[in-house]
Amino acid sequence: MPFGDELAPLGLRAGESAWVREVVLLSGDTPLVFAHTVLPAANARGAWRLLAGLGTKPLGELLFTDPLIARAALRYARLDPRCAMHARAAAACGVQADTLWARRSLFRRDGRSILVSEVFLPEILNLPK
Protein backbone atom coordinates (compact mmCIF):
# COMPACT_ATOMS: atom_id res chain seq x y z
CA MET A 1 0.00 0.00 0.00
CA PRO A 2 1.20 3.54 -0.63
CA PHE A 3 2.19 5.70 2.33
CA GLY A 4 -0.41 8.25 3.45
CA ASP A 5 1.52 11.23 2.09
CA GLU A 6 1.61 9.61 -1.37
CA LEU A 7 -2.16 9.47 -1.83
CA ALA A 8 -2.88 13.12 -2.69
CA PRO A 9 -0.12 13.61 -5.31
CA LEU A 10 -1.37 10.50 -7.13
CA GLY A 11 -5.08 11.23 -6.71
CA LEU A 12 -5.58 8.02 -4.71
CA ARG A 13 -8.08 7.38 -1.95
CA ALA A 14 -7.17 5.60 1.29
CA GLY A 15 -7.21 1.85 0.68
CA GLU A 16 -7.00 2.19 -3.09
CA SER A 17 -4.57 -0.29 -4.60
CA ALA A 18 -1.34 0.64 -6.28
CA TRP A 19 1.73 -1.05 -7.68
CA VAL A 20 4.68 -0.43 -5.33
CA ARG A 21 8.25 -1.22 -6.35
CA GLU A 22 11.16 -0.92 -3.94
CA VAL A 23 14.77 -1.40 -4.90
CA VAL A 24 18.14 -0.74 -3.32
CA LEU A 25 20.84 0.79 -5.50
CA LEU A 26 24.27 -0.55 -4.63
CA SER A 27 27.92 0.22 -5.24
CA GLY A 28 29.42 -3.24 -4.97
CA ASP A 29 27.78 -4.56 -1.79
CA THR A 30 27.20 -1.12 -0.29
CA PRO A 31 23.62 0.25 -0.34
CA LEU A 32 23.56 3.89 -1.45
CA VAL A 33 19.95 4.66 -2.34
CA PHE A 34 16.60 3.15 -1.39
CA ALA A 35 14.09 3.81 -4.19
CA HIS A 36 10.32 3.56 -3.71
CA THR A 37 7.95 3.90 -6.67
CA VAL A 38 4.15 4.05 -6.56
CA LEU A 39 1.93 3.58 -9.59
CA PRO A 40 -1.86 3.66 -9.19
CA ALA A 41 -3.31 0.36 -10.39
CA ALA A 42 -5.53 2.14 -12.91
CA ASN A 43 -2.46 3.77 -14.51
CA ALA A 44 -0.67 0.44 -14.94
CA ARG A 45 -3.16 -0.59 -17.60
CA GLY A 46 -2.83 2.59 -19.59
CA ALA A 47 0.01 5.04 -20.02
CA TRP A 48 2.41 3.11 -17.80
CA ARG A 49 1.75 -0.45 -19.06
CA LEU A 50 5.34 -0.44 -20.36
CA LEU A 51 6.50 -0.93 -16.74
CA ALA A 52 5.19 -4.50 -16.76
CA GLY A 53 8.28 -5.71 -18.60
CA LEU A 54 10.78 -3.64 -16.62
CA GLY A 55 12.12 -6.55 -14.55
CA THR A 56 15.56 -5.65 -13.19
CA LYS A 57 16.16 -2.80 -15.64
CA PRO A 58 16.56 0.62 -14.03
CA LEU A 59 13.36 2.65 -13.93
CA GLY A 60 15.41 5.78 -14.63
CA GLU A 61 16.37 4.41 -18.04
CA LEU A 62 12.72 4.47 -19.02
CA LEU A 63 11.83 7.74 -17.28
CA PHE A 64 14.59 9.74 -18.92
CA THR A 65 14.51 8.26 -22.42
CA ASP A 66 10.79 8.33 -23.20
CA PRO A 67 9.99 11.78 -24.68
CA LEU A 68 6.32 11.40 -23.63
CA ILE A 69 7.26 11.45 -19.93
CA ALA A 70 7.32 14.81 -18.14
CA ARG A 71 8.83 15.31 -14.70
CA ALA A 72 7.35 17.64 -12.10
CA ALA A 73 9.55 19.57 -9.69
CA LEU A 74 11.68 17.64 -7.23
CA ARG A 75 10.66 17.83 -3.58
CA TYR A 76 13.19 17.23 -0.81
CA ALA A 77 12.71 16.17 2.80
CA ARG A 78 14.71 15.27 5.88
CA LEU A 79 13.35 12.02 7.28
CA ASP A 80 13.59 10.98 10.91
CA PRO A 81 12.85 7.53 12.39
CA ARG A 82 9.18 8.44 12.97
CA CYS A 83 8.68 8.65 9.20
CA ALA A 84 7.40 5.48 7.50
CA MET A 85 9.76 5.94 4.54
CA HIS A 86 12.76 6.24 6.88
CA ALA A 87 11.74 3.05 8.67
CA ARG A 88 11.25 1.16 5.40
CA ALA A 89 14.60 2.30 3.96
CA ALA A 90 16.50 1.59 7.18
CA ALA A 91 14.99 -1.88 7.51
CA ALA A 92 15.56 -2.80 3.86
CA CYS A 93 19.18 -1.64 3.89
CA GLY A 94 20.24 -2.42 7.46
CA VAL A 95 20.99 1.25 8.10
CA GLN A 96 20.87 3.03 11.44
CA ALA A 97 20.67 6.78 11.08
CA ASP A 98 18.87 9.54 12.94
CA THR A 99 18.32 11.45 9.71
CA LEU A 100 18.04 10.41 6.09
CA TRP A 101 17.58 12.79 3.17
CA ALA A 102 15.10 12.00 0.43
CA ARG A 103 13.68 13.43 -2.74
CA ARG A 104 10.63 12.58 -4.76
CA SER A 105 9.11 13.57 -8.03
CA LEU A 106 5.92 12.96 -9.93
CA PHE A 107 6.28 11.80 -13.51
CA ARG A 108 3.39 12.07 -15.98
CA ARG A 109 2.70 10.23 -19.21
CA ASP A 110 -0.52 10.74 -21.13
CA GLY A 111 -2.02 12.54 -18.12
CA ARG A 112 -1.33 9.66 -15.72
CA SER A 113 1.16 9.80 -12.86
CA ILE A 114 3.80 7.74 -11.13
CA LEU A 115 5.59 8.86 -7.95
CA VAL A 116 9.28 8.08 -7.45
CA SER A 117 11.00 8.60 -4.08
CA GLU A 118 14.69 8.13 -3.40
CA VAL A 119 16.20 7.94 0.09
CA PHE A 120 19.92 8.67 0.20
CA LEU A 121 21.72 6.35 2.58
CA PRO A 122 24.72 7.48 4.71
CA GLU A 123 27.34 5.61 2.66
CA ILE A 124 26.58 7.79 -0.37
CA LEU A 125 28.71 10.46 1.33
CA ASN A 126 31.74 8.17 1.16
CA LEU A 127 31.76 7.86 -2.64
CA PRO A 128 34.96 9.08 -4.27
CA LYS A 129 34.65 12.61 -5.57
Kindly report, residue by residue over 60-104, the tens digit of the pLDDT. 888 988 899 999 999 999 999 999 999 999 999 888 899 999 999
Non-local (6+) Cβ contacts of 102 within 8 A are 76, 77, 78, 79, 85, 89, 117, 118, 119, 120
What is this structure's pTM? Answer: 0.91
| Whether the predicted pLDDT of 46 surpasses 80 | no
Fold exhibited by the domain 4-124: Chorismate lyase (3.40.1410)
Domains of the chain, by residue range, sit at 4-124
5/26 Cα distance (integer angstroms): 26
